[in-house]
Structure 1
Amino acid sequence: MKVRCDYCGNPAQLVTGSKIYPHRTDLRHLRFWSCEPCSAYVGCHKNSNRNVPLGRLANAELRIWKQLAHSNFDPIWKSGRLNRREAYSWLADELNLDLKKCHIGMFNVEQCKRVVQIIAARAAKGVRMSAVIVSLIQGTSEWNTWRMNGIGGSDAPVIEGTSPYKTARELYFEKTGLKTSEEDKSKEYIFSLGHKVEALIRKQFQEQTGVEMKPVCMEHGDFPYLRVSFDGFDSSRGVLEGKLVSKEVLLEASTTGRIPDFHYTQMQHGFMVSGADIGHWFGHDGKKTGIVIPIRANQEFIKRQEEREHLFWDNVQNRIVPPLSDRDYLIPEDQSLLAELRDAKELAENAQAQFETLRSQVVHLFNHPKIAGGGLKIFKVTKQGSLDLLSVPEIAKTRAELKDDYLEAFRKKGSESWTVRLDAVKKSKGAHV
């Protein structure tokens, strides 16, 4: 089969995925038609013996617009309200194209832009279907499965890039049933503790505000894979997002009205799914102190957020792995050098443990602040504890009044170092590059 580049007209070359995606081992067996001078390529139908291309060759600009077109259009049929053929038939009418020629893989940049505009216009003038309440008990295995099979509130900050706990790549491997490393037990503890105090937070929110909120699970009316599990919801009063937070977060919220970015993103996801336009962030210390901050829906933010979530879910369905971020672990194919470093680390830790044991034996045996002999000098060093200045009321009050931008001017020069930690999981799945 002969395929020509749509940009220069020269014959395209049939290559493997290792040429197009050299760092993607999962794509190396696939075939692509490529024009290297134009930096354009297109994949082949997986079940085709003749290497039939999926569409026209696309350069960087067209690839971006194809991805945007798909992320806007595909949810129409993936939601199940129209099948794929019905959705493309509707799009063909909108674009005034023959149905046989209406495929995003064949579109140029202008046609892809037109798709995005048509979907946006449809959303602007159409009446969105109401959110669907899902009958689930939070914390059950059924609830966990439901959350895993869609994008929930806690996933939204990960996709947005504001979550301190997880990256989009890690979330992708979770949603596709793969794991890149062992679970972080400290994070598990934080999340489980938060779930345990949700009932307490709802109770204290009601006592403090006089508003009763009930936990509820919802799905987006048009896109069921967009989901939310509210700590509390009332059709007239909006949503409740209860959070177990530190005293520093409570202080920031009480003095500035600001909540953590990833909490804000999570609440905007809830507005997007439910259609509500107001909510209450209730930060709590798990004991007595709770602060209510009213939060409103930000439609511009929600629009951008929804586009990112559609794109992420499309990647999950099509097994397109998100690129590595600086927060992700790179796992090379050749791990021989890492294995050498691991062995050296184990030796060093064993030697350190032996050293500390012998030191303790010597100190207890001779019981004197200075000991010498055997080529060693051993002596006791005593240090005073550091001052906890923020515990001083006057200083704490002044610190709360100082803005972070002002304090940054007094920060000392930073430094970099590398930590080597032994990993209990020797082999990780699905994250090789």
Structure 2
Amino acid sequence: MSAVELAKTLDMPREQWLKLRKKGIGGSDAAAIIGLDRYRSPFDVYADKLGLKPEIPDNEAMRQGRDLEQYVAERFMEATGKKVRRRNAMLQHPEYPFMIADIDRWVVGENAGLECKTTSVLSKYKFSQGEFPPNYYVQCMHYMAVTGAERWYLAVLVLNKAFHVFTIERDEAEIQALIAAEKDFWESHVMKQIPPAPDGSEATSELIKQLFPEARERAEVALFGYEDKIQQYLTLDAQVRELEQERDKIKQELQLAMADAEIGRAQGYIVEWKNQIRQTLDTQRLKKEQAEIYTKYLKPAQTVRMFKIKEVS
């Protein structure tokens, strides 16, 4: 391994490990930086490294992923006959110190590593046909860049369904492109504390809500110079409404053609309009007839910021 050992992680408290991750770009950050992570954005990574966003609270998926890591590693050894070991260290690229890696396992006797993944049965990727999320691939490329490995193995446990092993060979051209992207991100944004441009992703929208959850009452800010952006927003918003209406018009035509049929067939298409039973709670009646119970289970009020634009003369 050509990587530098930044810190030993054996028995390191999770809070300390989370702080250590902010010292550079890790494998789980790499795909977000280049726009290949559906759950995170470049803005999200930027805010995380500068400590601007709250830490994500531990959830069941995260807990199971950690707890099942050893099981996935054992299944990999069973399936391949290879041996793996823990590295127990935060690693750092010898030339680009902002590139860090906390790898799952190192493969004994090979210049290779192993990434262990646990995913839901609801995953849209067809692992049995060789498909896996692009962020998995980028993460493995990042680890190869940091460690100098020739290949990286990816072991994926699809809960209650299957177990798959993939081999990702080192691609020098892609690794150099990834290094360049991470270098630009770190030097142009994190080091200079200049946020990357918004990308329109849901991840960025959610982060902005977290950063600015409440407005200061009656506080104003000058947006002179943003007139073109505001007009562009209003134009696009109108276009979206027109497209939604056109889409709904076609939907109505199809529904009229199907009438009370559940399934419609066309050349290359199947259209479904199925029954669904939904039950809703009559909150108004509950509030009126069982006010005490209604109040007891009422969730605390939350502040929601509504965004709208009004034209003024």
TM class, shorter-length? 0.5 to 0.7
Q: C-alpha displacement at 1:160, in angstroms?
A: 1.5
Are residues 1:299 and 2:172 paired? yes
Q: Helix, strand or coil for the counterpart of 1:241?
A: strand
2:42 to 144, 160, 168: 168
Equivalence for 1:213: 84
Equivalence for 1:355: 284
Alignment of 1:57-72 (within 5 A): none
Alignment of 1:200-349 (within 5 A): 200-216=71-87, 217=89, 218-234=91-107, 236=110, 238-247=112-121, 249=123, 252-255=126-129, 257-286=130-159, 289-314=162-187, 315-327=189-201, 328-329=204-205
Counterpart AA for 1:202: A
Equivalent-residue separation in structure 2 for 1:214 and 1:236 (angstroms): 12
Q: C-alpha displacement at 1:194, in angstroms?
A: 1.1
Are residues 1:190 and 2:61 paired? yes
Structure 2's unaligned 5+ residue stretches are 219-280, 291-299, 306-313
Higher CA-based Rg = 1
Q: C-alpha displacement at 1:359, in angstroms?
A: 8.7
2:4 to 110, 132, 135: 132
Distance 1:238 1:355, change over 3 A: same
Equivalent-residue separation in structure 2 for 1:250 and 1:237 (angstroms): 32
Structure 1, residues 5-24: CA drift from partner, whole Å, max 9, x if none?
xxxxxxxxxxxxxxxxxxxx
Equivalent-residue separation in structure 2 for 1:226 and 1:312 (angstroms): 11
Q: C-alpha displacement at 1:334, in angstroms?
A: 6.5
Counterpart AA for 1:130: S
Counterpart AA for 1:302: I
Structure 1, residues 303-354: CA drift from partner, whole Å, max 9, x if none?
11111111111121111111112122256896769xxxxxxxxxxxxxx874
Q: C-alpha displacement at 1:165, in angstroms?
A: 2.0
Distance 1:139 1:200, change over 3 A: farther
Equivalent-residue separation in structure 2 for 1:273 and 1:323 (angstroms): 27
User: TM-score normalized by structure 1?
Assistant: 0.45
Q: C-alpha displacement at 1:264, in angstroms?
A: 0.5
Equivalent-residue separation in structure 2 for 1:318 and 1:246 (angstroms): 38
Equivalent-residue separation in structure 2 for 1:302 and 1:356 (angstroms): 61
Q: C-alpha displacement at 1:161, in angstroms?
A: 1.1
Structure 1's unaligned 5+ residue stretches are 1-128, 338-351, 362-421, 428-433
Q: Helix, strand or coil for the counterpart of 1:163?
A: coil
Counterpart AA for 1:131: A
Considering Cα pairs closer than 8 Å and 6+ residues apart, tell me whether 1 or 2 has the greater RCO: 2
Counterpart AA for 1:355: Q
Q: C-alpha displacement at 1:302, in angstroms?
A: 1.3
Equivalent-residue separation in structure 1 for 2:79 and 2:52 (angstroms): 43
Alignment of 1:376-415 (within 5 A): none
Equivalent-residue separation in structure 1 for 2:56 and 2:92 (angstroms): 29
Equivalent-residue separation in structure 2 for 1:353 and 1:184 (angstroms): 34
Contact residue 132 and residue 219 of structure 1 kept, 8 A: yes
Distance 1:356 1:240, change over 3 A: farther
Distance 1:359 1:209, change over 3 A: farther
Distance 1:288 1:208, change over 3 A: farther
Distance 1:283 1:224, change over 3 A: same
Equivalent-residue separation in structure 2 for 1:250 and 1:213 (angstroms): 29
Contact residue 197 and residue 286 of structure 1 kept, 8 A: no
Q: C-alpha displacement at 1:273, in angstroms?
A: 0.5
Identity value in percent = 25
- Between the two proteins, the alignment pairs up a number of residues equal to 222
Q: Helix, strand or coil for the counterpart of 1:244?
A: strand
Counterpart AA for 2:284: F
Q: Helix, strand or coil for the counterpart of 2:86?
A: strand
Q: C-alpha displacement at 1:157, in angstroms?
A: 1.1
Equivalence for 1:16: none
